[in-house]
Amino acid sequence: MLEPYLRRELFEHPWQDPRLPSLVFAGPDGAVSGFIAVRPLRLLFNGEPVLAAVGGTLMVDKSVNNPVMGARLLRSYLNGPQDVSLSETANEISRTMWDKLGGLTEPAYSMEWLRVFKPAAMAVGILSAKARAAAILAPLARLFDWGAGRIRRNPLPVDPSFDKGEEVDEATFADAVLTLCPVYALRPDWDRESLSWFVAQASEKERFGPQVRRIVRDRRGRTVGAYLYCVRSGGIAFVLDIFAAPKAAEDVVDDLIADAWRRGAVAVRGRVQPELADLLLRRKAIFVHSSSMVVHTRRADLLAAIHSGDALITGLAGETWSAVVGGMFG
């Protein structure tokens, strides 16, 4: 059931703030017919605290004849005391409402990257999710991908021997991220305890597989990269975040690609981080649009940081850490 997850995320959140409540829409009879989940987000902008709120999970009862219910919920949320409002999962309907209420879509944060390893197996997997009979094609897909991998000019090469990372526990991963994230002008005000909470919540993604946390060190043993993703053999791995020192980005991304390959993924995908876009393209990733990153703020300095890509506001810093993304609720 979804209820226990939302209760934990909304009422046991380490940054719970009475100024930023989730909102419901109730009719004259008191019946709830609409809801928007508001998750508090503490940010730092050049070291100064910024109050943010992530507004996702906007739901309305379609049986209730009130066409402005969703817009009223969204307006109430945007009129809160926060300096900036964000959502990285806006569909086209939500994006349009944000736009009408003064929000902006951030194209650089609104794309997903997809790096395919085994195109035939990936295609069969997608088809099988819609029609189980398609699974009969799996042996042919494996044969095709095996043959394609032996072609001298394979357009999707992977070096599975590349291994500069190590798998670590939550505490070690949190320490690595806290070391790496200050490169952004706008970033979460995490400490080890709060970051570990977000990492733990991000493990509830049964659709994508178990969580993997890895860090990358340089020759002197210094932490220069970290990434967090979920992966299962035969599936498309889902990346929440990649953290990398500027000169180590290639090693970090290459380690991620090789690790996902070794674990049997047919592809790997994640939200585009602007500073890694060019590198991901050079690593044969394709970019697609899945949902939009929308922002609402009256502060030009915060918008400038986001526009320039100097902001850490997705994944663990956004809302895709939530079990609502990738969780399975029976």
Provide the terminal-to-terminal Cα distance of the chain, rounded to the nearest Å. 6
111-291: CATH topology: Aminopeptidase (3.40.630)
Please give the pLDDT value at position 42.
98
Please give the pLDDT value at position 266.
92
77: phi then psi, degrees, rounded to nearest 5:
-65, -45
Strands 48-60 vs 165-167: parallel, antiparallel or unpaired:
unpaired
SS3 for 309? coil
What's the whole-number mean pLDDT along residues 202-209? 93
Q: Of 129-138, 153-162, 314-323, which one has max mean pLDDT?
A: 314-323
What's the whole-number mean pLDDT along residues 299-307? 97
Confidence band for 101, pLDDT divided at 50, 70 and 90: very high
Asked if residues 141 and 128 have their Cβ atoms less than 8 Å apart, the reply is no
**What is the token pair recorded at 224?**
């220069």
**What is the token pair recorded at 60?**
């309305």
Q: Where are the domains of the chain?
A: 2-109, 111-291
Mean pLDDT of the chain: 90
* Closest to 323 (Cα-Cα) out of 20, 22, 57, 51: 57
CA–CA dist 82, 17 (Å, integer): 11
Please give the pLDDT value at position 152.
56
Please give the pLDDT value at position 286.
94
Please give the pLDDT value at position 26.
86
262: phi then psi, degrees, rounded to nearest 5:
-60, -30
Please give the pLDDT value at position 279.
98
CATH number, span 2-109: 3.40.630.30
Of the candidate ranges 49-58, 128-137, 184-193, 300-309, the one whose mean pLDDT is the lowest: 128-137
- Dihedral sign for Cα 158, 162, 167, 170, please: negative
Q: Give ∠ CA 247-241-126 in degrees, rounded to 5.
A: 120
Is pLDDT above 60 for 133? Answer: no
**E-assigned strands of 117-209?**
165-167, 186-188
* Closest to 39 (Cα-Cα) out of 327, 230, 321, 329: 321
Of the candidate ranges 25-29, 39-43, 46-50, 114-118, the one whose mean pLDDT is the lowest: 25-29
Please give the pLDDT value at position 31.
82
* pLDDT greater at residue 155 or residue 115: 115
Strands 211-217 vs 223-230: parallel, antiparallel or unpaired:
antiparallel
Please give the pLDDT value at position 60.
84
Q: Give ∠ CA 212-216-222 in degrees, rounded to 5.
A: 140
What's the whole-number mean pLDDT along residues 37-55? 97
Is pLDDT above 90 for 144? Answer: no
Asked if residues 37 and 57 have their Cβ atoms less than 8 Å apart, the reply is yes
Confidence band for 260, pLDDT divided at 50, 70 and 90: very high
* pLDDT greater at residue 60 or residue 67: 60
Q: Which alpha helices (H) appear in 156-299, and where do they start and end?
A: 170-180, 192-201, 249-262, 277-282
Query: pLDDT (tens digit, 9 = 90+) per residue, 156-194?
Result: 778 989 999 999 999 999 999 999 999 999 999 999 999
SS3 for 287? strand
What's the whole-number mean pLDDT along residues 294-314? 97
What's the whole-number mean pLDDT along residues 201-209? 93
